[in-house]
Amino acid sequence: MEGGTEGGDVAGARMKDVAARAGVSIKTVSNVVRGAAKVAEPTRLRVERAIAELDYRPHASARHLRTGRSGIIALAFPELVAPYFAELAAEVVVAAKEHGYTVLIEDTGGDPDEELRIASGLTDSLIDGVLLSPLRLDQARLAALEQTVPLVLLGERSYDIAADHVLIDNAAAAREATEHLLALGRRRIAVIGHQTDPPFATSAQRMHGYFTALHAAGVPYDPRLAPPVRSFGRAEGAEAMSRLLDLDHRPDAVFCFSDLLASGALRVAHERHVEVPHDMAVVGFDDLEESRYAVPSLTTVSPDKREIARMAVAALLDRMSDEPATRPTTLTAGHRLVVRESSAGRPCTPAGPGTGDA
């Protein structure tokens, strides 16, 4: 029958069809096609025969097929609609294109099963390597994963596995942001971004930098100035700012762990007639494009997204080579504090306890 299995001409045959015909796993088919691992000769011949019978054609250029590579790398973030991840993804696409690679972008939604599927190479796709920013993937599950493709991790969460990890020094960045506010004479400095359930590493590292700066300045920590949040979104920032403004002794500065949190906080400050920066200085984190156009423009920690992308792509290409130049390591990209209108008003004079009470 035309279009059937007779004659070995199956239009649109997929890798799993080849695996079924050869009686092997999809992983084995992937290894044979990419030449990524040693496969027993009888098994390899069976797979190659199935490929020929089904006329299986991976979606890749002839040049990549000759090298056993697809020319595709996967990039996975927990929330692509988040502006930070969108901006970083754009930088990864540029960096990969410079090396002749196409980027397949995936949104995991923070689902640990989806994160594991992507870390394993997307199973039914010809992926040469994976850049993954995990959110909830369990350390044990990731460590137990039998890697079929090279993997580089992005973001602040630490995993004790043999994979490169590209990040920024969150603790140092948060310390610098807090020191900036202290240098303005602010002493009742709140944070929006404290996460306790679950205790995500990004929040923990930024809290550590905040604590370090307060301690060095001799300013006691007030837990009422760190309302917990569930996420780093605008609504959470607005809700946390409302709670801070309801205190008997309001903060005179707020350090937000994301620009989105700061956006929500600024909206509430405006609605409740709190002048920024005169009544309250505000600092964010991420240096999103929209933050440059906020009113007032937002002082923020600016991670070097271009450097993060280039480091990540370079590390992945090294892992994809036949002889990687280095052992897996942690790579730290740069950051800087960009001072704008939300904190650049006149410094305030420190008073006693309760400074900033409106």
Question: CA 9 to CA 4: how far, in whole Å?
Answer: 7
Q: Quick: pLDDT tens for 238-269.
A: 999 999 999 999 999 999 999 999 999 999 99
Q: In the chain, what are the domain boundaries?
A: 6-57, 72-168+304-334, 170-303
- pLDDT mean across residues, the chain: 85
Mean pLDDT of 91-116: 90
Residue-wise pLDDT for 128-159, tens only, equals 899 999 887 777 777 766 666 888 999 876 66
Which range of 100-104, 245-249, 343-347 scores highest in mean pLDDT? It is 245-249
Q: Are 206 and 285 in contact (CB under 8 A)?
A: yes
Q: Give the pLDDT of residue 219.
A: 97
The residue ranking higher by pLDDT, 137 or 292, is 292
What whole-number distance in Å separates Cα of residue 118 and Cα of residue 188? 44
Query: Does the pLDDT at position 66 exceed 80?
Result: no
Q: What is the pTM (predicted TM-score) of this model? A: 0.76
Instruction: Give 233 or 321, the one with higher predicted confidence.
Output: 233
296: number of CA atoms within 13 Å, CB side?
Answer: 21
65 pLDDT higher than 70: no
Is the per-residue pLDDT at 4 higher than 90? no
Rounded CA gap, 336 and 287, in Å? 10
Bond from prior residue into 198 cis (ω within 30 degrees of 0): yes
CATH architecture of structural domain 170-303: 3-Layer(aba) Sandwich (3.40)
Q: Please report the pLDDT score of residue 253 as a whole number.
A: 98
CA separation for the pair 293, 315 (Å, rounded) = 34
* Class of 72-168+304-334 in CATH: alpha beta
Predicted confidence (pLDDT) at residue 64 exceeds the cutoff of 80? no
User: Which residue do the tokens 């007639």 mark?
Assistant: 273
Structure tokens at 107: 């949104």
- Check for a shared fold between 6-57 and 72-168+304-334: no
What is the band of 278 on the pLDDT scale with cuts at 50, 70, 90?
A: very high
CA gap 252, 349 in Å, rounded: 11
Q: Which CATH architecture is the domain 6-57 placed in? A: Orthogonal Bundle (1.10)
Provide the pLDDT for residue 32. Answer: 79
